[in-house]
């Protein structure tokens, strides 16, 4: 059934997730919509992306540009 639904892309992590799925409430499919405090979610997503990128930096010389381009998109804001 999931090959017949629309997908969204997470703005930070770049992963696709179903926008809708028969029998599942749409609001539970988008991780941001499950948080009451959307700003807190955004901050946590940014924090996690930065942690990933900081840790992955030690491996960057051994991977392709394609892999590097798939990294989380942490913003430059503090």
Q: Please check the confidence at residue 77 and state whether its pLDDT lies above 60.
A: no
Overall domain count for the chain = 1
Q: Is there a domain that residue 75 lies in?
A: no
Which residues does 73 contact at the CB level (< 8 Å), separation at least 6?
11, 12, 13, 14, 49
pLDDT band at 78, cuts 50/70/90?
A: very low
Does the residue 78 lie in any domain? no
Range of the domain at 54: 2-69
Q: What is the pTM of this model?
A: 0.80
Residue 55 has pLDDT above 60, yes or no: yes
**In whole angstroms, how far apart are CA 74 and each of 1, 3, 14, 31, 51?**
32, 29, 11, 17, 9
């Amino acid at each position: 059934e999931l090959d017949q639904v629309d997908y969204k892309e997470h703005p930070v992590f770049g992963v696709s997730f179903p926008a809708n799925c028969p029998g599942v409430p749409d609001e539970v499919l988008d991780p941001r919509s499950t948080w009451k405090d959307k700003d807190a979610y955004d901050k946590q997503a940014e924090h996690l992306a930065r942690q990933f990128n900081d840790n992955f930096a030690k491996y960057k010389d051994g991977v392709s540009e394609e892999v590097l381009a798939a990294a989380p998109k942490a913003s430059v804001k503090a």
